[in-house]
Structure 1
Amino acid sequence: MIGLNGDRYFSDEYLPSAYNDIRENWGIFRKAQQAKGSLAWDTNYSVSSFEKKDVVLTAGRSIIDPKTNEKLGYVMIDVKDMSFASLYKPSEVNAKEQFYLLDKQGYLVTSVPSVNESADAVDLAALDRTLSGDSGFMDITWKDKPSILSYYTSDDAEFKLLSIIPLKTVEQQDNLIFNLTWNFALIGIIISAWLAYYLSKTVTRPLYKLMFLMNEVEKGNLNIRFSSKYNDDIGIFGLRFNRMLSRLKSLLQDSYEKQLRLQESEIKALRAQINPHFLYNTLETVNWLARLNGSSDISKIVVSLGDILRYSIRKGNNMVTVKEDLKQLQNYLTIQEFRYRDKFTSQVDIDEEVMERLIPALIIQPLVENAIVHGMESKTEEGTIHIRLRAEASGMQILIEDDGVGVDPETFALISADMVEATSFETLGIGIENVRRRLYLSYGEHFTWSLSTEPGKGTRIEIFIPDHVKEGNSYA
């Protein structure tokens, strides 16, 4: 403690010569005066009992009378180099690293480990660059070895902390980090491989099981099922596989039963062939007896009936030419005109170009029968049935028109409801319903059907059928 009145108080054996006189415009005195009671730092030189100069770190401040605010003197604390060295305990990593604490002039305050260079400027080629910068690092040669120097400036710009470490030490640390990185990477690869194996085992094993089951299905075994305790994609796929097998087994069973029924029907049909042949022979006998007795009308009816019977139960394609179907219609009209003598007459008007077009067999005859039964039977005077077939650009028009008794409004409303709902034509009888169903099977939604009637004036049925017919789910 240094008083302005000349008093001196010190803890060492001797008072350093730098404190003999108070020079307020120099060094630590000037900084302490400018700090106005706050702590100030500076490097200073103290003299020990052996007159050996040491660079010390000095902390100083002014002593102010709190009552009068008058400056009474200064308090100075010198921290020697050995005090810093005793606080530093190098670790294994930085044992080869050198630290320097410099003042702003480049003089050494302390170093760790101590290099006995106190009171001397540090001999570094990069010292000027270090002192002029705030912080950074650079490559230098230190003790004939490539090294890295890093430096940092204190907040008050009074001191520089330098660190010098040999490049080889850094490389050793890099190698250590590199080895640690590779070790962690290797561990990660091992863990990833184990996870990949585990996941592939949980995924591929069910897939192999499914493949095995599929091979069994190919061999005809439909009783197998896939079982899984997981609800993942494989489990859902297995569930769908089981449903497919159940559906396939059901379809095969249905197909087998249908095949059995078909075989039974064929057997019954073979057995029933005896009856048509017997009927044909009987009708032929009646025909010859009628001719021998001069009954040409009976012979004509029998021949027409035989032709109709053969045409109705014939085998082969369901599609016939218009010419063939009209021939059987004429046989039917021949029989009905004998039965309903003087009840009606028929007029057939056919475009020649439609004669070779294909239509479903027995399409026109049920419509004419409907006109006779529902239009002519209850009519008192003679009526007329018009049958017209007209060629059109993309198909053919069939028109059946009579001047019979017609249909009452209530019945016609029921018929119209059946047509709109595309259900059945039971109101007009089985024949009309059969025609409508067979047209739908042959042409799908591509045919049109219209019916109009007026009580006491007759009924008109108009059908348009296209040139193509339905084959499976397509049209040809």
Structure 2
Amino acid sequence: MKRTWRMHTKILLLCLGVTFSALILQMILFELSSSKMIYKQAKNESFHSLENMQEDVFDLIKRIEKVLIESYNEREFMHDLKEKTDIEVLREKYPREAYNLATSHFETTDGVVALYLYNMENEIISTYRRAVTPKHNYPLDIYETDKDYHADVVKEYVASERTDMMISSYYNTAREKEILRFVLKFYSNGNSRNTIGYVVCDVDSKTLLEIMKKYCSSEDMYLWFQPMGDRPAVSYGTIDANEKAVLEEFQKSISAGRQGDKKTIESGSRVFFQVEQDKYNFGAYSLMPQEMFYENQKILASNLALILIAMFAAAMAVAYFVTKTLTRPLEEMTDTAKKIKEGDTRLRMKVLKEDEIGILGQNFNEMLDTIEELIGREYKTKLLLNKAEYNALQAQINPHFLYNTLDTMGSIAQMQNCRQVEALCQSLSNIFRYSLDMKHPLSTIAKEMTHLKNYIYVMDVRMQDHVNYVFDIAEEVLKAEIPRLSIQPLAENALNHGLRNSRREKCICIRAKAIGEEMEITVEDNGVGMPEEKVKSLLETESVRSIGIYNIHMRMKMLYGEEYGIKISSKEGEGTCVTLKIPQNVKEE
């Protein structure tokens, strides 16, 4: 027995073969590359880059320290600090000392934003602030109690026996950025045990950020500076939210002074680097993804190129095979169907194989044989019947309204000499013109409302009825298209049948609104209503009472489909609500 391969089996085997071949090729190429050697070399290069960055930062810190040491040249100021002069005297005598130091010795590019001079009782003597605006706002005194300027670290340093310059930072909420802080003690006659005061210099972190940007070689790198035992000062780069816990763990360890001596540490998918300074307590750290070190870019690019070429060749072979074995019968079937649609109904599928496409082709041929017998008779008959039904429904406009109105106008013209006849004639003329325009079967909601108002005016004059009309038409549906004479017959039916025998105050409400891509028009009266059996019969059979409703209902179903048309709800003694549902903005009928 001849074995028949199913289509899904062929496709599955092809996909598995191509995928397996690609994976084997990728594995071989990766093994051939010296991944371990490249990984180690990349780590060394990253560490050296961090060392170079730390050297640039060291030069920046050294330059700031050199300027702060210039304060010793103010001999009179230093003498008063040594003599522990009263703070009020110092403030009165040296109000611009901080300003002179900041503006005379620092360059604009150094980014000094504030400078403070203190005595050993942590009392402010002189303050310099580069700008005082809502955005650029710096404290008058770092020991202000209402805000946190990280001043406790400064106090701790001043009280300690440290002789080096302290580097710290605080977050300026007004500027929403980190501010670097340098603190240098003043000593009496070079005696490191006799501290007489200190200077605090706050510097914009942008200078440090520019150095960090220069050494950031990847968007996935994360660099930061942090003094040992203090908070992180300045950071640059991005880090995944899932790896943020690793970063916080390293930063907490540095803040607690527990960081080990290892220069590189691998943690999860990241590699941690650290480079400390010998003189200043200001370490440089980085977290980098391990993926950056695994493969050399050139080797990776060449490997990927080989894989792409191999996969492209395999894809071409697969596409050719699929075209030969699978898609050609489908294309033949599509071309046959297209030619049959154009009129050549004698065509049939040929060369049918023993698979799903062959069975489909055989059923397709049998279907064509059946259609050929019916296409010349049933299809044409149905089109003619639909056209005849539509024309008949369009023609079912009750002429009695027009004749009765003309009689009424004649009576009024004979009995009264008033402008009412003129207005009545104008309304009736508009009604004639709108109703008899068969060249344009589609109108708009706005035009339908104008036609309805003309009809209402004529009926008010003719019947002398006191009927209140309420219009609630959404603006977005005014330009929506609707078959001509679809709303006025609903109002006419409400007036003639719903309100004619009503004794209470009469009212008809006409509403139109959009619901998604559809549109609903409702005509509701507070008349006598009708029983449920009569409501059901109005839409199923044509009668004198329901000719307008039945006409509209059948037209909508014929034009738009069975889900559209009229829905009626009514209660005896309460009134009737007729709802017309059609698609919105139909472009052609």
Confirm or deny a common fold (TM above 0.5).
no
Higher helix share: 2
TM-score (norm 1): 0.37
Higher strand share: 1
The structure that has the greater radius of gyration is 1
TM-score (norm 2): 0.31
